[in-house]
Structure 1
Amino acid sequence: MLKTAIPQDPNAFFADLRPVRDFALLADPNRFHPVPDDWVIGTADIVDSTGEIARGRYKTVNMVGAAVISAMVNAMGGRAFPYVFGGDGASFAVAGSDEACARTVLAALRRWAEEEFSISLRAALVPVSAIRAAGRDLRVARYAASDGVDYAMFAGRGLAWAEAQMKNGEFSVEQAQPGAIPVLTGLSCRWSNVRSRNGQILSVVVQPTERATERDFADLARRIVGMTGALLRDGHPLPATGPDVRWPPPGLDLDARVSRAGRSFRLQKFVLLWQNLLIWMLFRTNIRLGGFRPDHYARTAVENADYRKFDDGLKMTLDCDAETRNRLEALLEEARRQGKIRFGLFAQDEAMMTCFVPSAMRDDHVHFVDGAAGGYAAAAGRIK
């Protein structure tokens, strides 16, 4: 008698990967695993993010970029999938069976960004098979930032190829019909910016060139991580006890626009104002409310922050002193002269955090860290 084969969960690939706890180990290409051929890459970024930054809208740019992840997490119903935040956009990978869901989400995000913020968001869905047909690869690893959260890291140069195709108008996802609104439950930006304690918040973007082998870039990445490891708490830009909570909160208008879901902006702003008053009082007094412990939440937010990542390159948001910056820049410049990398640095006074919080009662809230005056987008604009 023949046995019926049990269908394998197409999402099990990523969910079954064992998270790596030491960030430095991710410099090793052998830590990354090939994404299945029948998966797709979703990618989105803001057109003319440099202009938006010049107009003082970088917090909005960050929020729209993080909305890509928030909307997909909500649409996937809690199933694990790899994603990465890029400052002015984001990318993710899902099984081919979730392609229609991803297309619906990206289409709605494009329409919402235009109607809510007058921001042009482009988006694409690129088959992993097309990436490999172009001579690139797409591999992924999981990095456990804490016991509660892990982040995806990408290698193989396939993600960069997919983003380049998107910018060339290939594999484009069209806008949804007017009035489309993605589900952004849990997305917020209520923390205050954090000033540098060591001199500057340094945004670092390093990309391998075609001349660099994976081993070349791995060796360089290991040296960079080792160098920045000499900074206080590895250069983590957030204080160990968490950023300040203020009232009225910064970014209140932005939070209201993100969370109103078609409701009155003024009414949503009023509701958030009083919700945040309660939050401010809890953090100010450290009073527990049910299962919510303000001090624990703040410390966990810092542990969960994604201030370092591999995404076909290396990105870091560091609280950096002048001496370490000079040593880092000299190392990068040497590799650039050898034709192995392209890099960009951008210094600012503050870091900022954009958050996705499914529940404040659990430890799986995620926090995307960037420089507050241009961050990764500005560093990418200075690549040489």
Structure 2
Amino acid sequence: MPPDAAEPSPPAAGFFAELPLLANERDTFEPDGWRPAPGDWALAVTDIVDSTGAIARGLHKTVNFVAAMGIAGLRNLCAPVRIPFLFGGDGAVVLVPPACIERARIELARARGQAARDFGLTLRAGLVPVDTLRRFDCDVLVGRFEPTPGNSFGVFLGGGVGVLEAAVRGHGNSELGRLAAIPESLDDGEPVNLEGLSCRWDTLHSTRGTMLTMIVRGRAGLREVYADILQLAGPDDQARPVSLNTLRARWPPKGFMLEARARRRKGSLLAWTARVLAETLLARIVLARGKPIGGFDPERYRREIVTNTDFCRHDETLCFVIDCPVTAVEPIMKYMAEKALSDGIRYGIHLSDTALMTCLVTSPADSLHVHFVDGGGGGYTSASRSLKGVQP
């Protein structure tokens, strides 16, 4: 029996779908919205080796795309069960239900192989049941951040994400690293099902001055830091990195070859390139006309993109990208330096004129689509690198 037929079809509901809704970023700081993950679910993490070097070689869009591959592959595998996932620029975090764990190992092995074969990147991946993680003095608490109905992201507390990431990267607990390891032999060369994953929108350009990417780490005070940064940067709605003014579609899109390579399913790359170009041209025409066609309303879709963007929070870490006035940068830098001294908070900041967006579209006509944003020129990777040099 082939591996993909070894497990039963997953149920239509699950732990994540039953969590309380956190409708905006501020709600993720409320304790009532979090629940312990079931012990028989499994936590998966991915991470691109030397993403800094890849970005320096001009592969930032590729890094973001490969980081999102783990999310897309596992989400498609587990459908229709809703699962929590988190995008980190050069890696991802996903929680999968018990019925999908063994197939998830195979998909992650395939994603690792596909990242190397098609994109020249080395992807680390690991997966371990939550019960196993709890044996290593950490926990996995999950919140359901859902900015619009049906479009959910996961936010995580408890330390489990950080402990597993460290083990998978080889500088954490070696026993946990061994338990989470995904054998190379599971990669049978089959492509990952990346249906819905694309990067067809043009680079997002700041309309207020600069795209500010920030990573903050601290045991306490993250709610206050986030609120104060947004106050310094201006109104929440204007600070969003995605707005109707920044959404631009060009043809052909810069990332069309990424999508063609990812979707070719062992077919001819030339044929899949032609198919992706045809699809993106049709989409460009529909968006340019701005008039509903069938069940798809392009203007509604644009408005939804603005709100359906991710928000990254796990353990003691908070990550976000905002469109920030240049005049607010110095006050933000001063504020964070003071918080580092007074509260022991560590932080990293990256500034860029632009941001990048990678999309995971399930059904645009049904308003089911989510979007991952990273600051241009390295974004989260660069902010993380500067974080390591900041001392409380």
| TM-score normalized with structure 1 length | 0.90
Tell me the percent identity. 33
Q: Distance in 1 between matches of 2:236 and 2:41?
A: 40
Cα offsets for 1:226-246 (capped at 9, x unmatched): 544x34615101123661111
Q: Does the 8 Å CA contact 1:124/1:172 hold for their aligned counterparts?
A: yes
Given the superposition, is the C-alpha separation of residues 320 and 254 from structure 1 closer, same or farther in structure 2, using an over 3 Å criterion?
same
Given the superposition, is the C-alpha separation of residues 55 and 255 from structure 1 closer, same or farther in structure 2, using an over 3 Å criterion?
same
SS class of match (1:352): strand
SS class of match (1:365): strand
Q: Which residue of 1 aligns with 2:4?
A: none
Kindly state the Cα deviation for residue 152 of structure 1 after the two structures are TM-superposed: 1.3
Matches for 1:278-317 after TM superposition, within 5 Å: 278-306=282-310, 308-312=311-315, 313-317=317-321
Unpaired runs of 5+ residues, structure 2, are 1-10
Q: Which residue of 2 aligns with 1:254?
A: 258
Q: Which residue of 2 aligns with 1:112?
A: 114
Unpaired runs of 5+ residues, structure 1, are 1-8
Kindly state the Cα deviation for residue 377 of structure 1 after the two structures are TM-superposed: 1.3
SS class of match (1:192): coil
Q: Which residue of 1 aligns with 2:3?
A: none
Q: Which residue of 1 aligns with 2:40?
A: 38
Matches for 1:45-60 after TM superposition, within 5 Å: 45-60=47-62
Q: 1:197 is matched with which residue: 194, 198, 207?
A: 207
Given the superposition, is the C-alpha separation of residues 219 and 233 from structure 1 closer, same or farther in structure 2, using an over 3 Å criterion?
closer
Moved more, 29-38 or 179-188: 29-38
Given the superposition, is the C-alpha separation of residues 32 and 326 from structure 1 closer, same or farther in structure 2, using an over 3 Å criterion?
farther
Q: Which residue of 2 aligns with 1:99?
A: 101
Q: Distance in 1 between matches of 2:101 and 2:13?
A: 12
Q: Distance in 2 between matches of 1:330 and 1:37?
A: 43
Q: 1:356 is matched with which residue: 353, 360, 368?
A: 360
Q: Which residue of 2 aligns with 1:180?
A: 190
Matches for 1:2-21 after TM superposition, within 5 Å: 12-21=14-23
Q: Which residue of 2 aligns with 1:5?
A: none
Given the superposition, is the C-alpha separation of residues 349 and 59 from structure 1 closer, same or farther in structure 2, using an over 3 Å criterion?
same
Moved over 3 A (4+): 215-228
1:330 aligns with 2:334: yes
Given the superposition, is the C-alpha separation of residues 296 and 253 from structure 1 closer, same or farther in structure 2, using an over 3 Å criterion?
same
SS class of match (2:237): helix
Give the letter aligned to residue 259 of structure 1. Answer: R
How many equivalent pairs are there?
370
Q: Does the 8 Å CA contact 1:11/1:94 hold for their aligned counterparts?
A: no
> Higher helix share goes to which structure?
2
Q: Which residue of 2 aligns with 1:263?
A: 267
Cα offsets for 1:187-232 (capped at 9, x unmatched): 1111111110111111111122xxx3xx44444444445544x346
Kindly state the Cα deviation for residue 337 of structure 1 after the two structures are TM-superposed: 2.1
Q: Distance in 2 between matches of 1:241 and 1:294?
A: 15
SS class of match (1:377): helix
Given the superposition, is the C-alpha separation of residues 130 and 73 from structure 1 closer, same or farther in structure 2, using an over 3 Å criterion?
same
Give the letter aligned to residue 304 of structure 1. Answer: N
Given the superposition, is the C-alpha separation of residues 225 and 96 from structure 1 closer, same or farther in structure 2, using an over 3 Å criterion?
farther
Moved more, 247-256 or 107-116: 247-256
TM-align CA RMSD: 2.1
Q: Which residue of 2 aligns with 1:4?
A: none
Kindly state the Cα deviation for residue 104 of structure 1 after the two structures are TM-superposed: 1.1
Give the letter aligned to residue 309 of structure 1. Answer: C
Kindly state the Cα deviation for residue 174 of structure 1 after the two structures are TM-superposed: 2.3
| TM-score normalized with structure 2 length | 0.88
Given the superposition, is the C-alpha separation of residues 287 and 217 from structure 1 closer, same or farther in structure 2, using an over 3 Å criterion?
closer
Kindly state the Cα deviation for residue 49 of structure 1 after the two structures are TM-superposed: 0.6
Give the letter aligned to residue 295 of structure 2. Answer: G
Matches for 1:130-279 after TM superposition, within 5 Å: 130-168=132-170, 170=177, 171-175=180-184, 176-177=186-187, 179-208=189-218, 212=219, 215-228=220-233, 230-231=234-235, 233-240=237-244, 243-279=247-283
Q: Does the 8 Å CA contact 1:192/1:244 hold for their aligned counterparts?
A: yes
Q: Does the 8 Å CA contact 1:352/1:371 hold for their aligned counterparts?
A: yes
Q: Distance in 2 between matches of 1:15 and 1:332?
A: 36
SS class of match (1:358): strand
Q: Distance in 1 between matches of 2:89 and 2:380?
A: 6
